[in-house]
Amino acid sequence: MPAFSSPDRELRGFSRKQALSLAGVATALLLTGCSSSNDSLASQADAGDSKGYIAGDGSVTEYSEEERSQPVSFTGTLYDGSTITAEELRGKPALLNFWYAGCAPCRSEAPHLVELHEKFGNKVQFYGVNVRDERGTAEAFENNFKIKYKSFKDADGKVLYNLSKFVPAQAVPTTLILDAQGRVAARILGEIDSSILKTLLEDQAKSV
Residue-level pLDDT at 17: 41
Q: Is residue 28 part of a domain?
A: yes
Residue-level pLDDT at 169: 81
Q: Is residue 46 part of a domain?
A: yes
Q: Is residue 2 part of a domain?
A: no
How many whole angstroms separate alpha carbon 199 and alpha carbon 60? 12
The residue that leads in pLDDT, 12 or 69, is 69
pLDDT tens profile 102-116: 999 999 999 999 999
Q: Is residue 7 part of a domain?
A: no
Residue-level pLDDT at 139: 98
Q: Is the pTM of this model over 0.85?
A: no
Q: Is residue 3 part of a domain?
A: no
Q: Is residue 144 part of a domain?
A: yes
Residue-level pLDDT at 9: 39
Q: How does DSSP assign the chain, residue by residue?
A: ------TT---SSHHHHHHHHHHHHHHHHHGGGTS-TT--HHHHHHH--S--S-----EEEE--TTT--SPP--EEEBTTS-EEEHHHHTTS-EEEEEE-TT-HHHHHHHHHHHHHHHHHGGGSEEEEEESS--HHHHHHHHHHHT--S-EEE-TT-HHHHHTTTTS-TT--SEEEEE-TTS-EEEEEESS--HHHHHHHHHHHHTT-
CATH number (domain holding residue 41): 3.40.30.10
Q: Is residue 9 part of a domain?
A: no
Q: How many domains does the chain have?
A: 1
Q: What is the length of the chain? A: 208
Instruction: Decide if pLDDT at 24 tops 50.
Output: no
Residue 96: HSE in the Cβ half-sphere, 13 Å Cα cutoff: 32
**Domain residue limits at 157:** 14-205
pLDDT tens profile 129-173: 999 999 999 999 999 999 999 999 999 999 999 999 999 988 899
Q: Is residue 1 part of a domain?
A: no
How many whole angstroms separate alpha carbon 125 and alpha carbon 148? 12
Instruction: Decide if pLDDT at 126 tops 50.
Output: yes
Residue-level pLDDT at 157: 96
Residue-level pLDDT at 57: 73
What backbone phi and psi angles, to 5 degrees, belong to 78? -80, 165
Residue-level pLDDT at 3: 45
How many whole angstroms separate alpha carbon 73 and alpha carbon 128? 16
